[in-house]
Amino acid sequence: TDCLLCHPQGELVIHEDAGWRCIRAMEPGFPLFYRVIAQGHVREWSEVPDDQAWRAMRWVRAIEQALLALPEAVRPHKVNLAQLGNVVPHVHWHVIGRREEDSHFPAPIWAAAQRPQPEALLAAQAAALAALAELLVRLEQHEVVPAVSYLIGVIPQGRIGVGWATSAIDGTAERPSVT
């Protein structure tokens, strides 16, 4: 087919597995724009198997959380989520970090611009995201979710603690106990 999402060119892939591809969209004027794209050509969200739909939502949420954890100077004021498929009938989610200063805010990015682009802000966002993207693309696939979790301040296991094995290393505990 001629589907742009089935045959991508020039996209910055953040994560890819058998079911989904997560990319930084590289849309001019919107550096906080990401897509979570079904690997197979699926036209409607309701056609996505339940386990794959949950997986996609995990990625949508992880990207949103990572955007909201950016430094305050470049952090979005709002994150827009959209799953349209009118132009490209291939299931994909848009995750778009928005700033009040962006050229279209509060209207959708597909609407007419309401003001000029804030060039200094765009440059700062692009630099912050380039550093984040450089980190993420170097990770192994199984490392991406934990890395994003740590970056946004959510510890996957729920807490940090020192267990008996650690204290046994320095000789302060001879056997496990609850104290």
Using the structure block, give the residue that is written with the tokens 């386990």. Answer: 51
What is the average pLDDT across 21-48? 90
**Strand, helix or coil for residue 23:** strand
Nearest partner of 84 among 115, 110, 58, 104, judged by Cα:
110
**Peptide bond preceding 106 in cis form (omega within 30 of 0):** yes
pLDDT, tens digit (0-9, with 9 covering 90-100), for 142-157: 777 777 666 655 555 6
- Please spell the DSSP secondary structure of 118-159, one letter per residue: -HHHHHHHHHHHHHHHHHHHHS-HHHHHHHHHHHTT--TTS-
Kindly compute the dihedral angle of the four CA atoms of residues 140, 142, 145, 150, in this order, to the nearest 10 degrees: -70
Please state the pTM of the whole predicted model: 0.72
